Amino acid sequence: MFVIVLDTQESGPSGRPRISLSRKLVDQETGQELKKVSERSPRSGGRLVGPVPTVGEVLRGKVVNIESFGAFVKLQGYNHQGKLVT
């Protein structure tokens, strides 16, 4: 699946980066953006563990966990998961 990074937060309650994703804004056949995501800086706070993707970046990912409030996607090329916003 293709996803786009909507927002990043340097540290969530668990101490890991929080990454918000969307698949609706990306063509699932080509990986092209359907609607431009405005670039925002990551929020400050906490300590990063490894690189975090840039807001607006389109990435491939694999769903690794589904909860009642959303799905978590492992991001290809990064050591992080992001919560998929539907």
Residues 38-63 pLDDT 10s: 544 444 444 445 677 888 999 999 99
Kindly report the pTM of this predicted structure: 0.58
Say yes or no to pLDDT of 77 above 50.
yes
Report CA 86 to chain centroid distance, whole Å: 12
6's tokens:
């909507």
What is residue 43's DSSP assignment?
B
Pairwise CA distance, residues 18 & 73, whole Å: 12
Q: CA dist 76 to 64, 68, 73, Å?
A: 12, 24, 9
